[in-house]
Amino acid sequence: MLATRAWAKGAVDLMLPGGPSDRPTTTAFPGKGPMILQRTRPPLLETPMEVFNKGVFTPNDRFFVRWHWAVIPESVDVRSFRLTIHGAVNRTLSVSLDDLLKMPRTQLAAVNQCSGNSRGLFVPRVPGAQWRHGAMGNALWTGVSLRHVLDLAGVKPNAVAVRFGALDEPVVPDAPDFSKSLSIDHARDAEVMIAFAMNNEQLPLLNGFPLRLIVPGWYSTYWVKALNEIEVLDKPDDGYWMTKAYKVPDTPFANVAVDAKDVPTVPISRMVPRSFITNVADGAKIPFSPNLNISGIAFGGDCGVASVDISTDNGRNWNRTNLGADQGKFGFRRFETSLPIRDRGKLALLVRCSNTAGIVQPMEPNWNPGGFMRGCVEPTHVVMT
Ligand SMILES: Nc1nc2c(c(=O)[nH]1)N[C@H]1C(S)=C(S)[C@@H](COP(=O)(O)O)O[C@H]1N2
Ligand SMILES: [Mo]
């Protein structure tokens, strides 16, 4: 099923500093419309920025894709599929999709964002997928709360964490199978969801059909796709994906100096606020008019959006924008404003989100060796002609 040769004619320039940034666009992946091809196998597909201008929800066929290992499910037999819940529980459960669809449902909008979204903008460059901003998307997720399923199994008092395993596999047998875990309290907070629907449709195969974990406000490394195993642990998860991978400096915005040594690290967790202008492309030439309409998307990270402000004077003055409908604190929120424009020529538009916890996007880019948690103000450069 995977595209190896044919992709639609066309390419985009992601305008990344310090390296080749042309990428082909592809329509060759199942269930996907035009996507930016970052890698073929395992697939890494980026959402083109203009998709985010069309509305607050990212359509399933334009939603980004990322897998670590190349052996990914190419089809799933929905009749024989089982989700197993075992470990420190009173009853081991083997849940069919039919069983799950009969359980009480929950629904919420939430942003799924790769920890390394926008890594391609890190200076100096760091290894890893060189994404621009399209390794994120917002969907309406429907499913069963993880807490409900854990309660059915009966968590033992000595439980400390819950580990999530999936149908994908490493190519070589001794590479670490992908799994992630959450603390038992987080797993039982009633917001974490086992989702079977995305934007009111079944999940695309590439986004984790038939089930995936939704961890609202947390980076998508925890959002385990093709979820088929839930293991309640009586000691912390000492696996590769929790102790070695996805560790970030234990500092605000995971920010460290490029030459910093021996910085304590912690597993990546909550997202930080971000905002993007979506109606004007970076590098656009715009016919002069005394008022420029600007709109885009923002999200608060692990809480809601308090305000979104725009500056045209490099951050000296900020103008408040109007926020669109609130679809829930974990989702995208639209903003729009009309900016007075005095002169022709170059203009840098800066957009900045403040979240309801009082965290404001910094002007200076944050940096760390993993290329994680980018959250600074992103300029959009235009020329008024
Ligand atoms: N089973 C499985 N789930 C996974 C991964 C994976 O490699 N295998 N990658 C994670 C990472 S790092 C990301 S960014 C998201 C991507 O979700 P998406 O492909 O639906 O956009 O899936 C997460 N869940
Ligand atoms: Mo990711």
Exposed / middle / buried, residue 157 (Cβ in 10 Å: 0-12, 13-18, 19+): exposed
In Å, what is the CA distance from 157 to each residue of 145, 188, 292, 334, 365?
Answer: 20, 13, 59, 43, 44
SS3 assignment, position 97: helix
In DSSP terms, 46 is beta-bridged to: 36
Q: How far is the CA of 268 from the centre of ligand 2 (A)?
A: 11
- Could you tell me the distance, in angstroms and rounded to a whole number, from the CA of residue 207 to the centre of ligand 1? 7
Ion ligand 2, residue ranges at CB < 5 A: 114
- Report the amino acid identity of residue 129: A
What is the pairing mode between strands 106-113 and 333-340?
unpaired
Instruction: Compute the residue count for the chain.
Output: 385
Atom of ligand 1 nearest to the CA of 227: 1
In 3D, which of 233, 247, 267, 88 has the Cα closest to residue 163? 233
pLDDT tens-digit map of 50-99: 999 999 999 999 999 999 998 999 999 999 999 999 999 999 999 999 99
Q: Which ligand is nearest to the CA of 69?
A: 1
Distance CA 190, CA 149 (A): 11
The residue among 346, 373, 370 whose CA lies nearest residue 362 is 373
Pocket mutation for ligand 1, best pick of 67, 247, 374 (most atoms within 8 Å of C-beta): 67
Structure letter (DSSP) for residue 154: -
The DSSP-derived string for 241-292 is HHHTSSEEESSGGG---TT--S--EEE--B---EEEE-SS-TT-EE---SEE
Beta bridge partners of 106: 143
For the question of whether the overall pTM of this predicted structure is more than 0.85, the answer is yes
Structural element, H or E, at residue 320: strand 319-320
Query: Distance of alpha carbon 304 from its chain centroid, rounded?
Result: 16
Distance 70 CA to ligand 1 centre (A): 12
Element spanning 153, H or E: helix 146-153
Give the number of whichever ligand sits closest to the CA of residue 32.
Answer: 1
Nearest ligand to the CA of 64 is 1
- What is the residue-level pLDDT of the chain in tens, covering all 385 positions? 333 333 445 889 999 997 789 999 999 999 999 999 999 999 999 999 999 999 999 999 999 999 999 899 999 999 999 999 999 999 999 999 999 999 999 999 999 999 999 999 999 999 999 999 999 999 999 999 999 999 999 999 999 999 999 999 998 888 999 999 999 999 999 999 999 999 999 999 999 999 999 999 999 999 999 999 999 999 999 999 999 999 999 999 999 999 999 999 999 999 999 999 999 999 999 999 999 999 999 999 999 999 999 999 999 999 999 999 999 999 999 999 999 999 999 999 999 999 999 999 999 999 999 999 999 999 999 999 9
Q: How far is CA 377 from CA 33, 123, 132, 352, 358, in A?
A: 29, 15, 14, 6, 16
Dist. CA 207–CA 214, nearest whole Å: 12
Q: How far is the CA of 115 from the centre of ligand 2 (A)?
A: 5
DSSP letters, 21-45, are -EEEEE--STT--SEEEEETTTTEE
CA distance 374 to 207: 23
> In 3D, which of 176, 178, 223, 175 has the Cα closest to residue 203?
223
Read off the pLDDT of residues 245-301 as tens digits, 9 standing for 90 and up.
Answer: 999 999 999 999 999 999 999 999 999 999 999 999 999 999 999 999 999 999 999
Report the nearest-CA residue for atom 18 of ligand 1.
65
Report in angstroms the alpha-carbon separations of 96 from 78, 81, 143, 242, 289.
8, 6, 14, 28, 59
Please name which of 186, 195, 211 lies closest in space to residue 302, comparing C-alpha atoms: 186
Locate all alpha helices (DSSP H) within the chain, ordered by sequence.
97-101, 146-153, 184-187, 240-243
**What atom in ligand 1 is closest to the CA of residue 115?**
14
Question: How far is the C-alpha of 370 from the C-alpha of 248, rounded, in Å?
Answer: 7
Around ligand 1, the residues with Cβ closer than 6 Å are 63-68, 112, 114, 166, 168, 178, 207-208, 220-221, 223-226
Between the CA of 66 and the centroid of ligand 2 the distance, in Å, is: 6
Q: Give the span between the Cα atoms of 309 and 311, in whole angstroms.
A: 7
Place of tokens 């290329």: 371
Instruction: Compute, in angstroms, the gap from residue 87 CA to the centroid of ligand 1.
Output: 24
Place of tokens 């999200």: 299
CB 310 within 8 A of CB 377: no
Dist. CA 308–CA 297, nearest whole Å: 9
- What is the SS3 assignment for 60? helix
Atom number, ligand 1, closest to the C-alpha of residue 64: 21
| CB-count exposure of residue 74 (10 Å: 0-12, 13-18, 19+) | exposed
